[in-house]
Structure 1
Amino acid sequence: MNARERVLAAIAHKEPDRVPIDQGSMRSTGLMAIAYNRLKQYLGVDEGPTFMYDLIQQLAQPEDWFLDRFHVDVIDLGRAFTGPEHWRSWTLPDGSPAAVPKWFQPEHQDGDLIIRDASGTIIGRQPKGSLYIDQAYWPLAGPDGLNNYEPLEEKMNQVIWAALPAPPFDQPLTDERLEEIGRIARRLYETTDYAISLSVGCNLFEWCQWLFGMENTYIYMAAEKRKLARFLDRLTEVHMEMLSHLLPKVRGYVQILVVGDDLGMQIGPQMSPETYRELFLPRHKRLYEYAKQLSGAHIFLHSCGGIYELIPDLIEAGVEILNPVQTSAQGMEPEKLKREFGRDLTFWGGGCDTQHILPHGTPQEVRDDVRRRLEIFMPGGGYVWNQVHNVMADVPPENVVAMLEAAYEFGRY
């Protein structure tokens, strides 16, 4: 059984030869570049500079040696657009070397990194000593934002997440670029055995927060539902327009289509199920059904936090795969999730506690945690192993090795 067959069997709720392993197939399943560099040093690996493909979260693109050594089964289509000809040298906050896209040209201001949009507005900032780039501008945060949001695509491009995109969205989706994406997707499908994922975003709730600001979004959800619903319809149209051009090019080559919307917090959902059903469920459902129709791929939702109360509605919306399975959040106990939703969802994540055990435990404690979680999630298929979200910069490399080796060792059926 090859990697692609293994992943597809798991999604079909069958037991493959072993639990599939993901490490870096999307922007919430990987390692920060600092942690990746420390892992390479710990293992004595000298494979050249680490390419940091996600500039905001500072994530490393896993190299071929890493995929082979740790038995990774799924890759991101975007990795095929990040060859050395696209890189330039960079230094990470801990002083270790890396590479970044040539087009990434931030300003340096009193030790901070500054990101500006085309108009010169500061839209992002990485304070000196910080490990991330923070959003610094909310284009529709003013008092008239919910009434005057056109041209919406231009407003969206002023958000840091759009201004610093990961491949293949680091270039405009011209006809030529779309054809290139299709050619490369076909090549990866025909020349590798990996399952292939493509992240298309299509966030709704998060785009409200990025454009209006969090406080305004909560106010509009409570006091301006009719206007917010009209905005969400317009936002849905923007996403569907992009999907209509992109997805036919990759149909048959991409197996996992990654969408996102962080709906939870540590203590539960950011909204009531009733609010979700009124504002977001119909539009998520429209988006996900359209995306599946065009791509033929499985719908993978990344949604952080305690979202237990929303999971039945997410299933109704068309979600087939749920990530990151934040088991330390309220209501997200592994046993309960598997028992109540294991027939309807593939859980992709939840495989190691990244808030407590991975950064602070011993290697043996990490192994024990991975083994216990596998015993819960793996029976009957419907599980792809990954830790809960990304591996942070401060995680000891010996714990990373213990985690990944345990996922392979204990994931056999």
Structure 2
Amino acid sequence: MNPRERVLAILNGEKPDRIPVDLWYTGEIADDLKKHFHVNSDLELYKSMQLDKIVWVMAGYDFKSTDTNRTVWGVPLKRITSGKAVYDEFGEPPLKNYNIDSLDEYPFWPKAENYDYDKARQWAQQAYPNYVTIGPWISFFEVYCQMRGLQQGLMDLVLEPDLANSILDRIEECQTRMLETFLKALGDSIDIVFVSDDMGTQENLLISPDIWEKFFKARLARWCDLIHSYGKKVFYHSDGAVEPLISGLIDCGIDILNPIQRICKGMDTKLLKSKYGDKIVFHGAVENQSILPFGSPEDVAKETKYCLDTLASDGRGYIACSCHNIQAGTPVENIIALAKAVCYYNRSTTKSLNSC
């Protein structure tokens, strides 16, 4: 099997020749890995590492102005440097002082026609023959909190439900138009749509299940229905302790759950596999807060094997991956150890990895 066939087998509930291995990482880690493997492109790196990479496909946005230091939603960005890492933080929430009557005056609601679908299609078609593709990125709660601020956003759901629904309606409408245009433009070259809504902390949910059901469940179900109508899978991302929402997410129609932070409360991988393993695919799980960045290669191999033993106990339903982006400064040897552990687990090694 090639990487595409292997991942598709998992997504279709089949048993592949081995469990797939994906990796999420920051730009700094991408540079480190390319340097280590003496390659220049992303696709060359995936091949060198024998990754079953699920390849990201995003449509760039034409801001129609010189003010590009914002997200497509108009949220200002601030560039931060911390050690080896460079990243953007969100600035002042742009809808902080808006009310229901003034929402239509907001100048930064994104327009579907401003996305570059042609370039996205070209990249997807490069990856498509050998790799499963994923895109675009869509979200309800994360976008809402970026635009209103996390604290205000959480309070809105209780104190300002009409305003919250009005903003969420606009967020849904803008992205649904973009999503449909994206899916029509890319056709068979896209396989999965990425829905990202972080709902958990290390210990609990950010909002109650009742609030989630009131504001988000029906909206997510509409997106799942739309995505499935195009023959695509739904990849749902939520960090943290989200076990209380998993049944509801399955009801909505998600196909893949990520990132499975197993050190968070209620996210025990044995429990998740026993309760939900016949309903969804798990993606992620390899611990990325302490073991990957600070452990030894042996620690990483042991952690990866545990995830495989628990989430792929039947040889199905799991794509091994770091449980979030591998951060700058993580030893390359540890990242290689993750990929090797999957190969060893499946009684298959590769020349390129063994020669590292």
Q: Which amino acid aligns with 1:126?
A: R
Q: Which amino acid aligns with 1:372?
A: Y
Displacement of 1:217 in angstroms is 0.9
Which residue in the other structure is 1:46 paired with?
A: 38
From 172, 192, 195, the counterpart of 2:114: 172
Which residue in the other structure is 1:194 paired with?
A: 131
Task: Output the CA distance in 2 between the equivalents of 1:15 and 1:408.
Answer: 16
Q: Which amino acid aligns with 2:223?
A: L
Displacement of 1:334 in angstroms is 0.6
Displacement of 1:309 in angstroms is 0.3
Task: Output the CA distance in 2 between the equivalents of 1:10 and 1:255.
Answer: 13
Task: Map 1:251-266 to 2 at 5 A.
Answer: 251-266=187-202
Displacement of 1:128 in angstroms is 4.9
Which residue in the other structure is 2:53 paired with?
A: 74
Residue 310 of structure 1 pairs with residue 245 of structure 2: yes
Task: Output the CA distance in 1 between the equivalents of 2:131 and 2:182.
Answer: 21
Query: Is the 2:57–2:123 contact (alpha carbons within 8 Å) kept by the matching residues of 1?
Result: no
Task: Output the CA distance in 1 between the equivalents of 2:267 and 2:142.
Answer: 21
Task: Map 1:10-409 to 2 at 5 A.
Answer: 10-23=10-23, 30-41=24-35, 43=36, 45-48=37-40, 63-76=42-55, 78=57, 116=69, 123-129=76-82, 131=85, 132-142=87-97, 144-151=98-105, 154-156=107-109, 172-173=114-115, 177-179=116-118, 181-182=120-121, 185-186=124-125, 188-189=127-128, 192-198=129-135, 200-293=136-229, 295-350=230-285, 352-380=286-314, 381-409=316-344
Which residue in the other structure is 1:97 paired with?
A: none
Structure with higher helix content: 2
Task: Output the CA distance in 2 between the equivalents of 1:321 and 1:21.
Answer: 15
Q: Which amino acid aligns with 1:233?
A: D
How has the CA–CA distance of structure 1 residues 275 and 34 changed in structure 2, closer, same or farther, with 3 Å as cutoff?
A: same
Displacement of 1:184 in angstroms is 5.2
Displacement of 1:404 in angstroms is 1.5
Displacement of 1:156 in angstroms is 4.6
Task: Output the CA distance in 2 between the equivalents of 1:395 and 1:184.
Answer: 28
Q: Percent identity?
A: 25
Corresponding residue pairs, total: 339
Task: Output the CA distance in 2 between the equivalents of 1:9 and 1:358.
Answer: 27
Q: Which amino acid aligns with 1:378?
A: A
Displacement of 1:357 in angstroms is 1.1
SS at match of 2:133: strand
Query: Is the 1:15–1:379 contact (alpha carbons within 8 Å) kept by the matching residues of 2?
Result: no
Displacement of 1:390 in angstroms is 0.8
Displacement of 1:178 in angstroms is 3.3
Displacement of 1:282 in angstroms is 0.6
Query: Is the 2:191–2:232 contact (alpha carbons within 8 Å) kept by the matching residues of 1?
Result: yes
Which residue in the other structure is 2:8 paired with?
A: 8
Q: Which amino acid aligns with 2:153?
A: T
Task: Output the CA distance in 1 between the equivalents of 2:25 and 2:120.
Answer: 25
Q: Which amino acid aligns with 1:46?
A: H
Displacement of 1:39 in angstroms is 3.8
Deviations 1:362-400 (A, max 9, x none): 111111111111011113311111111011112112111
Task: Output the CA distance in 1 between the equivalents of 2:186 and 2:253.
Answer: 20
TM-score, normalised with respect to structure 2: 0.86
Q: Kindly report the root-mean-square deviation, in angstroms, between the aligned alpha carbons of the 2 structures.
A: 2.9
Task: Output the CA distance in 2 between the equivalents of 1:385 and 1:398.
Answer: 17
SS at match of 1:263: coil
Displacement of 1:215 in angstroms is 1.1
Task: Output the CA distance in 1 between the equivalents of 2:217 and 2:276.
Answer: 18
Deviations 1:294-334 (A, max 9, x none): x3111001111110001111111111101111111111111
How has the CA–CA distance of structure 1 residues 6 and 407 changed in structure 2, closer, same or farther, with 3 Å as cutoff?
A: same
Query: Is the 1:76–1:197 contact (alpha carbons within 8 Å) kept by the matching residues of 2?
Result: yes
Displacement of 1:233 in angstroms is 2.2
Displacement of 1:135 in angstroms is 0.8
Q: Which amino acid aligns with 1:12?
A: N
Displacement of 1:151 in angstroms is 4.6
How has the CA–CA distance of structure 1 residues 292 and 115 changed in structure 2, closer, same or farther, with 3 Å as cutoff?
A: same
Quick check: 379-388 or 64-73, which moved more? 64-73
Residue 410 of structure 1 pairs with residue 345 of structure 2: yes
SS at match of 2:190: coil
